[in-house]
């Protein structure tokens, strides 16, 4: 447990290291998820139009 807290404290730089990684993960995840969601939306719409004919 003290080991974990020690690691989370990042030698006193926790307020800089963790936000960096958090922002990084958020940006990278958004870059991946947005196009996948857009593609799914288009597929759904395409399927609906094809079925409606």
Partner 1 sequence: MLDATKRYASLPSFYRLCGRLFAWLLPATVALFAAGLVWGLYLAPADYKQGEAYRIMFIHVPSAWMSLLVYMVMAAAGAVALVWRVKLAELIHIECAPVGASFTALTLATGMLWGKPMWGAFWVWDARLTSELILLFLYLGVIALYAAIPDRRKAARATAVLAIVGVVNIPVIHYSVIWWNTLHQGPTVTRLDAPAAHISILAPLLFMAVVFKLYFITVLLARLRGSIAEQCRAQQWFRDEAAGRA
DSSP secondary structure, the chain, as one string: -HHHHHHHHGGGTHHHHHHHHHHHHHHHHHHHHHHHHHHHHHHHHHHHHHHH-
Radius of gyration of the chain (CA): 21
- Please, what is the minimum distance in Å from the beta carbon of residue 33 to partner 1? 9
State yes or no: residue 49 binds partner 1 (CB under 8 A).
yes
Binding mask 15-44 for partner 1 (x = CB under 8 A): -xx-xxx-xx--xx-xxx--xx-xx--xxx
Footprint on this chain of partner 1 (rule: CB under 8 A): 7, 10-13, 16-17, 19-21, 23-24, 27-28, 30-32, 35-36, 38-39, 42-47, 49-51
């Amino acid at each position: 447990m003290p080991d974990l807290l020690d690691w989370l404290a990042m030698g006193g730089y926790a307020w800089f290291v963790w936000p960096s990684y958090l922002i990084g993960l958020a940006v990278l995840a958004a870059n991946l998820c947005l196009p996948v969601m857009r593609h799914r939306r288009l597929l759904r719409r395409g399927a609906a139009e094809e079925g409606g004919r």
